[in-house]
Structure 1
């Protein structure tokens, strides 16, 4: 199901279709991608069958969100190639099982799709939709050293507010925020 479209992209639900599962595996088995995802359980994926587990985790995480939040595939409209993932969700607090009221936007792209502006374009679309729904601010949290993702946050107009330990079990992360009045 398509969630949003942009000039170049379809933002849609990941599916259990073989091509989607293969791409999930291809993205999340790569050290150069998952090294920035902190201590995310089950990553990197070590065998293709684990892609279905990752999809099930995403579906369970967003089951009660009625489509407002999600972990979605970013697909090129012109070719149908999935370039990565964009997500929008409540940030988990210091106790990772408890979501906060802070909303996070994030992106994970396959290395073959880096440097084309896809992360910025997809994130801009989901943030705009969330702000239109009345959310006053959206956060991006980035592992220290991930200069590419910090650049995406800045291109989105997000302000860097320093390193914070409010989320993801107290992990120290670079925090960026976009407030509605600045969007």
Structure 2
């Protein structure tokens, strides 16, 4: 039964953990994206990952850290779901991930177009914010698509409920209707992510 096998690997917290704000998490400088920045090759095909790792483009450490945090949350959500669904359904989940990555790469292509169209004397930081916002929207769509996928299959609903215990109904609405910034802010307030940006699944979830 899926309820018996869901989340055999969990994070057990000792004592009562104090929820950290987004800024507090980012200030600790330990948030990493779901991939290893040290292994990303600069070959012209991985600019989106290099951007998130703050290795190319106009440097804005804070915004890129937020992107890394978003990627970490998305990555842990994806892995939790992938671990507990049937093999035949993993293709659907993989398609969501591939579409997200494709869209994320297109964000940097759009940034180059904005750069070229900037009038002389314009603030060079403008393209950065455009591409950052674009990438955040890519992650938001992927989070929504994964959530819809879970709710489209009744036996998978408990996976979502386990991750977002004790308020899964509220989180379903938040994910479908709020911005990615609002979603992450709520996750931090509710202590649903750890200091590295990964989703926490509490051992006492029902």
**TM score, norm. by length of structure 1:** 0.33
Q: Which has the higher helix share?
A: 2
Whose Rg is larger? Answer: 2
Ranked by relative contact order (alpha carbons within 8 Å, sequence separation 6 or more), the top structure is: 2
TM-score when normalising by structure 2: 0.30
